[in-house]
Amino acid sequence: MGYELHAVIAGDELLCGWARGVPEAQVAPLRQGLSLLPITDELFDSVTDGSPTGALGFRRLPGGFGESLARWSAEGPVAYVEAEYFGGVGEQRAAVWVDGTLALGPLDEPTRKRFSRPVSPISQALRRLGARRTLGEDEFEAVGLDSHRNNEDWLSSTAPY
């Protein structure tokens, strides 16, 4: 079974406020005061500025969208994350914008401090957004990113704006 995610993650109020002005945007609630905006084909087409995709090494970051994320981050930290796994093999990428600038990443490898367990790129980004893990789980699980396996599943739990 696979896992695929291409999304923006930020605080509830920030992300829901932006989504109100974009008919193609659908926001899904996460835990710990965060929300997720899946990058659907429709949203991708509505926010791209026509410049090439693949900025910062991401596969589905719409052209020019990094500038939008930087602007939003003036109101609070904003992350863009991608994950693609099938049969336990795959990759993650994450970046976080804070106060109008790229503050973390892009990350594509887990970090590991001596004698500690590895921390995935998405968990590192979630930490910058204020997510906290509990015993036996990482930030990815703590905010509920393990509750759906792809963007389509997330859409079933979204709120239209």
Tens of pLDDT, residues 106-123: 988 766 555 456 678 999
pLDDT at 51 over 80: no
- What is the mean predicted confidence (pLDDT) over 59-75? 88
The string of DSSP letters for 8-55 reads EEEEHHHHHHHHTT-TT-EEEE-STTEEEEE--HHHHHHH--SS-S-G
- What is the model's pLDDT at position 161? 47
pTM given for the model: 0.88
The confidence band for 156, taking pLDDT boundaries of 50, 70 and 90, is: confident
Half-sphere exposure at residue 100, Cβ-oriented, CA atoms within 13 angstroms: 1
